[in-house]
Structure 1
Amino acid sequence: MNRKTFKQTGCLLAAAIACTGAMAEETTLTEAFSEGTPYGDFRLRYENVDQDNALDQANALTLRTRLGYRTGSYQGLSGVLEFEDSRAVAGTDDYNDTQGQSPDHSVVADPETTEVDQAFLQYSRSGLTAKLGRQVITYDNQRFVGHVGWRQDRQTFDALRLSYSPLQELTLDYAYLDKRNRIFAEAGDLDAKDHLVNIHYQTGLGTLTGYAYLLDVDNDTDNSLDTYGLRYAGKYAMDTLNLLYELEYASQEAEAGASEFDADYYKALAGVQAQGLTFSLSYEVLGSDDGNYGFATPLATLHAHNGWADQFLGTPTGGLEDLKAAVSGSLAGGKWVLAYHDFSADDAPSSADDLGSEVDVAYNRGFGKHYTAGIKYASYMAGDDAAGKVDTDKLWLTLGARF
């Protein structure tokens, strides 16, 4: 589907919805808008980045403001309009924002920006939901498609999304992405011709998911990135504990000009919930094509996976193996988590596969109905063979309000 077809499809959807609306009384449509819900949230965050290199420490104090309005439903039709603004405050802007500000400092990828975050029409009827416009799209654990909500300017997509549930246990989901609105303000957005298919079936022991993500940046070059995979994740309840488990495998074909690459992905996780604590051990591999290409997930919420220090936002050409142990629980009305990562290369000589390790720790707590506070720390220790990597410490202090 090219961009012209995408726009034509969108016009047809909008026309069909409008015709449906014309069958009801005008007062009903007025009520749908007047009975809508305004909403908003604010996030004030201090971030410090200290790296063992020539770059100066980054110090960023930023405020993310998000304001929106969600209409009521009218003959199955509803809509959302949402604005987002990110600002450095109190003059604390000593950081490389990826857009040219303070290049002699470490990176904090929160450029100042004001933009439309979401603007879409949604039509829901008889198990089918159609959504057209700028929107958040996430699948599963956001390993492949996510909103990157950790950053102040989150990721959204200009898209047509169709979701259908013929059975309570089964959901079929397809999305065509016309544009990737990334986390680097409008200057970093990309035109796209992406097709996303995600089908999941709920069983008694977990969810089985099959997916195909066929990505293509619309820049008149050969750059297709096709990924096909299966995932199974669930929880088994016993008398005094719960067992957690995940298994996932995907294969990927990448085209870059005249070059073509193949790589595999797999993950296994086992965990236990008992006595208010959750313990897990996982092994994740982003494979390599003979050391020339690393498995890529450009639409993912990357921060949530291979360490909060964000040292592997791009997979090394030799691939990445991540052995992770984590424990989490509750304390004083909040939640804490402690994790350890051991990183190595997937396709490299044994003498050149040490990519380092990382310790992550966080505590978050809510106050009343509307307020949250959190502290988060990541410490990455570069390995002997981690080319271009250095020891990195990151600290975050966060205050949030939502209404």
Structure 2
Amino acid sequence: MNTFHKMSLKFLAASVLASLTGSAFADSIHDALSNSTAYADFNLRMETADQDNALQDASALTLRTWIGFSTGSVNGFSFTAEVEDSRIVMGQDEFSVGPAGFNPGEYSVIADPETTELDQAYIQYKSDNFTGRLGRQVITLDDHRFVGHVAWRQDKQTFDAVSAKYAFSKDVEVFYSYLYKRNRIFAEAADLDSKDHIVHATYKSPIGKFAAYAYLLEVDNDTPNALDTYGVSFDGKMKGDSINWAYGAEFATQSSESGSGETATDFDASYFNAYVGATISGITAKVDYEVLGSDDGLYGFATPLATLHKFNGWTDQFLNTPVQGLQDLKFSLSGKLAGGKWIVAYHDFSADESTPGVDDLGSEINLQYTKKFDGKYRFGIKYGTYDADDFKVDTNRFWMWVGTRF
């Protein structure tokens, strides 16, 4: 346990003890327990994957269970814990999860290993304008492009962290977190110790929401490394007589350093995104152009803490940005049908900086329909097909799931 973590624990423990002294201690504990809440969430999902390569086609049927508990507040302090379990159902285990050591190199990847983990366990202090947390927690920022929980997978991503959020007003908010462990989606064997600093600020203006951030990441592996990203973004909306508009843009720069001496590497890349969407009679049409830049075809802009499945196609071809970088031009239509929601999307991929033989990175079509029943149950069906060109191989993935929460 690093020194920073030890000091944080001691400080918080002292604060909790101080807050609980006095004659009202017993009543406060009773009130906190009386106001506690518990929840459970179940997600049963079938997933298949076939790729035009030597790997065998994959199929999985898995059940993910979350069971959580949050106490009421005692002088602003509360406690939350959540356990997560993912199980293979009916022996449907023909898939590979390399980082977890499950059937490595045999089948196409379906990243849902069997695991039972303490998913969240944190102490929280909350006042009118301030919220602080210590322990294992979910952290999501903006649209999850840089920091997310990857809750699409059965084993979602959480962080062992100290975090703090302060609202200077209803329009201005600042968030900081120090992450000392990344609990990734591949079960505990693939978790990473880290020394990450997350700084994020937002301002809600009359014309839209502005954000500025600095993500200073370092894997704690006894090897010099740093991945530093600085960026700004804007998201706005405008209502018209017959058309509602949504629009935004984002820009970031990144430096990546690794190793020392003659083997050291040092790269720089940039990120750009711009989108515009229009909603007419309940149908939304959107165009989104995203560029994860390259450094002379040797390094691609990286977002290792992101909910990656949400971006650049659902067949997950670009979880690691190619060294040539990535340009993704996306067209989508979405709306409502029979009480549910549907979306159709098309991606056209190309290299940001081409190298010999690598320029056209293919295209992808995504389809999804989701629906909730009785406010308790959810159903979804989803399909992605990737058409390769200079990169990867043709890939098809299909999902169907049901779930409930109480």
TM-score (norm 1): 0.97
Could you tell me which residue of structure 1 aligns to residue 172 of structure 2? Answer: 170
Structure 1 residue 345: Cα displacement: 0.2
Structure 1 residue 349: Cα displacement: 5.2
Tell me if structure 2 keeps the 8 A contact 1:321–1:343.
Answer: yes
Distance 1:198 1:83 in 2: 28
Structure 1 residue 35: Cα displacement: 2.2
Distance 1:203 1:222 in 2: 40
Corresponding residue SS for 2:168: strand
Q: How does 1:121-140 map to 2 (within 5 A)?
A: 121-140=123-142
Tell me if structure 2 keeps the 8 A contact 1:143–1:302.
Answer: yes
Distance 1:34 1:349 in 2: 63
Map Cα deviations across residues 202-260 of structure 1 (whole Å, 9 max, x no partner).
Answer: 01121100000000000111120000000001211122221111100000000011110
Distance 1:187 1:148 in 2: 17
Tell me if structure 2 keeps the 8 A contact 1:10–1:160.
Answer: no
- Relative distance call for 1:350 and 1:282 in structure 2 (3 A) is farther
- Please list every run of 5 or more consecutive structure 2 residues that lacks an aligned counterpart in the other structure: none
1:371 aligns with 2:373: no
Instruction: Tell me which moved more, 285-294 or 16-25.
Output: 16-25
Could you tell me which residue of structure 1 aligns to residue 76 of structure 2? Answer: 76
Distance 1:92 1:351 in 2: 39
Map Cα deviations across residues 164-211 of structure 1 (whole Å, 9 max, x no partner).
Answer: 001110000000001000000000100000000000000112110000
Tell me if structure 2 keeps the 8 A contact 1:120–1:132.
Answer: yes
Matched-pair identity in %:
53
Tell me if structure 1 keeps the 8 A contact 2:297–2:355.
Answer: no
Corresponding residue SS for 2:4: helix
Distance 1:164 1:143 in 2: 22
Structure 1 residue 11: Cα displacement: 1.9
Distance 1:217 1:187 in 2: 15
Instruction: Tell me which moved more, 132-141 or 26-35.
Output: 26-35
**Equivalent in 225, 228, 233 of residue 226 of structure 1:** 228
Could you tell me which residue of structure 2 aligns to residue 150 of structure 1? Answer: 152
Could you tell me which residue of structure 1 aligns to residue 283 of structure 2? Answer: 277
1:289 aligns with 2:295: yes
Corresponding residue SS for 2:207: coil
1:66 aligns with 2:72: no
Letter in 1 for 2:10: C
Could you tell me which residue of structure 1 aligns to residue 395 of structure 2? Answer: 392
Dislocated runs of 4+, deviation >6 Å: none
Distance 1:126 1:31 in 2: 20
Could you tell me which residue of structure 2 aligns to residue 32 of structure 1? Answer: 32
Distance 2:76 2:280 in 1: 43
Map Cα deviations across residues 283-326 of structure 1 (whole Å, 9 max, x no partner).
Answer: 10000000110000000000001100000000000100000001
- Please list every run of 5 or more consecutive structure 1 residues that lacks an aligned counterpart in the other structure: none
Corresponding residue SS for 2:215: strand
Letter in 2 for 1:364: T
Could you tell me which residue of structure 2 aligns to residue 191 of structure 1? Answer: 193
Corresponding residue SS for 1:12: helix
Structure 1 residue 75: Cα displacement: 1.3
Q: How does 1:181-260 map to 2 (within 5 A)?
A: 181-257=183-259, 258-260=264-266
Distance 1:338 1:22 in 2: 58
Map Cα deviations across residues 29-66 of structure 1 (whole Å, 9 max, x no partner).
Answer: 12202320110100000000011111111010000000
Distance 2:330 2:16 in 1: 48
Could you tell me which residue of structure 2 aligns to residue 8 of structure 1? Answer: 7
Structure 1 residue 330: Cα displacement: 0.2
Corresponding residue SS for 2:107: coil
Distance 1:338 1:91 in 2: 32
Q: How does 1:300-311 map to 2 (within 5 A)?
A: 300-311=306-317
Map Cα deviations across residues 131-169 of structure 1 (whole Å, 9 max, x no partner).
Answer: 110000000000000000110000000000000001110
Corresponding residue SS for 1:346: strand
Letter in 1 for 2:243: L
Letter in 1 for 2:112: D
Could you tell me which residue of structure 2 aligns to residue 19 of structure 1? Answer: 18
Distance 1:234 1:334 in 2: 26
Corresponding residue SS for 1:150: coil
Corresponding residue SS for 1:247: strand
Structure 1 residue 328: Cα displacement: 0.4
Q: How does 1:314-329 map to 2 (within 5 A)?
A: 314-329=320-335
Letter in 2 for 1:371: Y
**Equivalent in 341, 345, 349 of residue 339 of structure 1:** 345
Tell me if structure 2 keeps the 8 A contact 1:17–1:123.
Answer: no
Distance 2:4 2:42 in 1: 38
Tell me if structure 2 keeps the 8 A contact 1:3–1:193.
Answer: no
Map Cα deviations across residues 318-352 of structure 1 (whole Å, 9 max, x no partner).
Answer: 10000000110000000000000000000015963
Tell me if structure 1 keeps the 8 A contact 2:378–2:402.
Answer: yes
Distance 1:63 1:140 in 2: 29
Corresponding residue SS for 2:304: coil
TM-score (norm 2): 0.96
Tell me if structure 1 keeps the 8 A contact 2:193–2:221.
Answer: yes
